[in-house]
Amino acid sequence: MKLYGHPISTCTRKVLFTAQEKGHKLELVVVDLAKGEHKSADHLSRQPFGQVPALDDGGFALYESRAIARYLDEVLSGPKLTPSDAKGRALMEQWLSVETSNFTPHAMKIVHQRLFNPMRGQPCDEAVVAEATKPTGRALDVIDRQLGKTRYLAGSQFTLADLTYVPYLEYLVASKAGDLVEARRNVARWWSELSARPAWKAVTGK
Amino acid sequence: MKLYGHPISTCTRKVLFTAQEKGHKLELVVVDLAKGEHKSADHLSRQPFGQVPALDDGGFALYESRAIARYLDEVLSGPKLTPSDAKGRALMEQWLSVETSNFTPHAMKIVHQRLFNPMRGQPCDEAVVAEATKPTGRALDVIDRQLGKTRYLAGSQFTLADLTYVPYLEYLVASKAGDLVEARRNVARWWSELSARPAWKAVTGK
């Protein structure tokens, strides 16, 4: 299996993390985002929106990181990252949707301003950060209440629903917004556990 | 099973449509959005983000429309709306992610301006429409290429990946943006088939 992506892309990391949790290592083919390779005809034939990552599993082409993560969990050997019962799967999907719709779009606005803009020599707009902090905090409040009841989001099992938050949380903490995590006791405990997972450390090299 | 939602909400319709395709009718408990009932303590206990819909399946609480749709497909009798093989399921998930991330956020900007704002006595900002038309069209271009190869998005089977686009397409067409659909031959054919499904007509009452 080949994964076309970039080592600092959150969506690429999400897929590499999934494979590592299953005990596998994907062959990463680097798409040079700085050179605009993700908008090349070559890459557009794999990912028509010009985004990363894209999977090639022996000729089977698949994109969208959360779809790839679910697929790898199904077809690779190793620990299951999806609950075995319908209600557990439903709760995993609920928290995956919360990540996609209620958490990540807001958290990434903070990351773009505080982390990515300075890397590109662009200014950080703190008004955007302040605006995005409110809904990011609201999502983390909801997550905190759930994690006061269960160890992981979908219950007692670590699932894809926890895994998908990790690349975004990593960058949020690196964006001097770690207080959003630390101020919430259960989120802080969860993040401490998630960020210490050997599979995640293998992805970040830390 | 009770669904707390509103008959004109796209996400509520998506869930009602799923149940109808399975040959079931959910009990719809109307949450009066105009009166702000979705922000009441009562509703927030079911859906902590104050959105609709939320499912109550004999005490099992679930929110996020795409998670509910997947759950209903699993637990209700009736035709399967999910492929039976791992690659088919992966493709369904890919197109569901495209809907969530690449299509709906843009298409709904058009709908908000052209359809919802006039309903609320607010002006339509055509600059927003023009800006959102580009990425909406790009997503429909990608979809059109796929539908030139397969009858439905994930292959020959109608799946949740097709179903989730329907409530948004309905409103996009009603927003005098039907040319976005009609200008693309395969999308036009697909929309014509989808919008004629008896289960969808049962939801809209048309």
Contact B93 A67 (CB under 8 A): yes
Q: Assess if CATH 3.40.30.10 describes domain B2-75.
A: yes
Q: Count the neighbouring beta carbons within 10 Å of the beta carbon of residue A40.
A: 14
A39 touches chain B (CB under 8 A): no
CATH topology of domain A86-204: Glutathione S-transferase Yfyf (Class Pi); Chain A, domain 2 (1.20.1050)
The tens digit of pLDDT for each residue in B114-167 reads 999 999 999 999 999 999 999 999 999 999 999 999 999 999 999 999 999 999
**Measured between alpha carbons, how far is B105 from B94 in angstroms, rounded to an integer?**
16
Question: Which of the residues B1, B10, B11, B64 would you substitute to probe the A interface, choosing the one with the greatest number of A C-beta atoms within 10 Å?
Answer: B64
- Can you give the pTM of this predicted structure? 0.97
| Selected residues 150-189 of chain B with any CB under 8 Å from a CB in chain A | none
**In this predicted structure, what is the pLDDT of residue A181?**
98
Helix A126-147 to helix A104-111 angle (10° resolution) is 140
B74 touches chain A (CB under 8 A): yes
Listed by start position, the domains of chain A span 2-75, 86-204
Helix (H, G, I), strand (E, B) or coil at A50: coil
**In this predicted structure, what is the pLDDT of residue B121?**
95
A122 touches chain B (CB under 8 A): no
CB contact at 8 A, A168 and A174: no
A52 touches chain B (CB under 8 A): no
Of B63, B67, B86, the CB nearest to A75: B86
CB contact at 8 A, A170 and A195: yes
Assembly ipTM: 0.97
CATH of region B86-200: 1.20.1050.10
The tens digit of pLDDT for each residue in B75-115 reads 999 999 999 999 999 999 999 999 999 999 999 999 999 99
Asked whether the CA dihedral A116, A122, A124, A127 is positive or negative, the reply is negative
The beta-strand segments (E) located in chain A are 2-5, 27-30, 54-57, 60-63
**Measured between alpha carbons, how far is B175 from B125 in angstroms, rounded to an integer?**
13
The beta-strand segments (E) located in B90-184 are none
Residues in A touching B109 (Cβ below 8 Å): none
B56 touches chain A (CB under 8 A): no
